[in-house]
Amino acid sequence: MLSLAALLLVCRLRQQSFAPLLHKFISPLLFPVFLAVSAAVGSLQAAEEMQSRGRVCLSVVEPGPPAKELPLRTTSVARPGEKVNVYLDASMKCIALVVALTPDGKLANGWRPQFAEVPEDFEEVQLPRAPVTWEWTAQAVPLEIYVLFMQPDSTDAEKAKRLISAMQSLKLEDRILEMQTNKLRELIGRIASEKQKSNQTLFKDPEVGGVFRGNEFPWRQFAQSVTFSDDRPGVLILASEGGGKAVPVGQ
């Protein structure tokens, strides 16, 4: 077989195009490489398509009048009459779990954890559902808010659903509620700590240029997303700074 240098010389002498000869001798060598690269790219695309995506935005509602709603930031400050809303959606049907804890593992402000069955195609879900509200007290301690997206048929989702349902009664004894909170905290801690088995990310403070009044809060403009799949829950974590004192954007 002629060397590449010899082929170039022959082409020049005969004033022929080099491209046909290069295709003849090189293509058989590159074809297996092309197939391998194509297969790898296809596998990556398939893996990405198999992962679902969840989005969430936390907001602070000031009573007014007029009432106004702003994205919650890690530097937000509690003020009398304020409440916290949670907006979320997902590309595929899933289970969403939202829990607000203090640094020592207790329920922040006594807020009961929230559990929702999220429809597919990014249909909006708002938590907590009426008549429940998350009133943000002026003496609020630092917050650690966890938002988890899980497959509906997962074992952890079923455990969380049963546990959160049992925690909703306002007549629960403090001792029982504390035990249930510890169990839920352990479940979330196990999921969040197994980073190789979950997609985990921290909330980032959104950039906001104004204050929003009225019934339509454009929460998707400030939403953060996380991917999840059958064996990899998606976990978003917001940890407030300082003494939980944060001023909503625009203040």
Look at residue 22 and tell me if it is in a domain.
no
Position 20 scores a pLDDT of: 54
Strand ranges in the chain using DSSP code E only, listed in sequence order: 52-62, 68-71, 82-90, 94-101, 114-118, 125-127, 134-136, 144-150, 199-202, 212-213, 224-228, 234-239
Domain that holds residue 61: 51-239
> What is the residue-level pLDDT of the chain in tens, covering all 251 positions?
444 444 344 444 444 444 454 455 445 555 444 444 444 434 434 444 457 999 999 999 988 788 889 999 888 888 888 999 999 999 999 999 999 999 889 999 889 999 999 999 999 999 999 889 999 876 667 889 999 999 988 889 999 999 999 999 888 999 999 999 999 999 998 887 776 667 888 888 887 665 555 568 899 999 999 999 888 899 999 988 644 333 333 33
State the pTM of this model: 0.74
| Angstrom distance (rounded) from CA 44 to CA 207 | 32
Total of domains in the chain: 1
CATH number, domain of 102, equals: 2.60.40.2550
| Angstrom distance (rounded) from CA 169 to CA 163 | 12
The helix or strand, by DSSP H or E, that contains position 178, with its residue range, turns out to be: helix 174-193
Look at residue 102 and tell me if it is in a domain.
yes
90 C-beta neighbours (distance < 10 Å), count = 25
What does each C-alpha distance from 123 to 69, 215, 220 come to in angstroms? 21, 17, 11
Cis peptide before 152 (omega within 30 of 0): no
Look at residue 108 and tell me if it is in a domain.
yes
> If you ran DSSP here, which 8-state letter would residue 228 be given?
E
Look at residue 83 and tell me if it is in a domain.
yes
Look at residue 17 and tell me if it is in a domain.
no
Look at residue 26 and tell me if it is in a domain.
no
224 C-beta neighbours (distance < 10 Å), count = 17
Look at residue 232 and tell me if it is in a domain.
yes
- Ramachandran category for residue 36: left, alpha or beta (phi over 0 → left; psi -120 to 50 → alpha): alpha
Look at residue 155 and tell me if it is in a domain.
yes
Position 18 scores a pLDDT of: 43
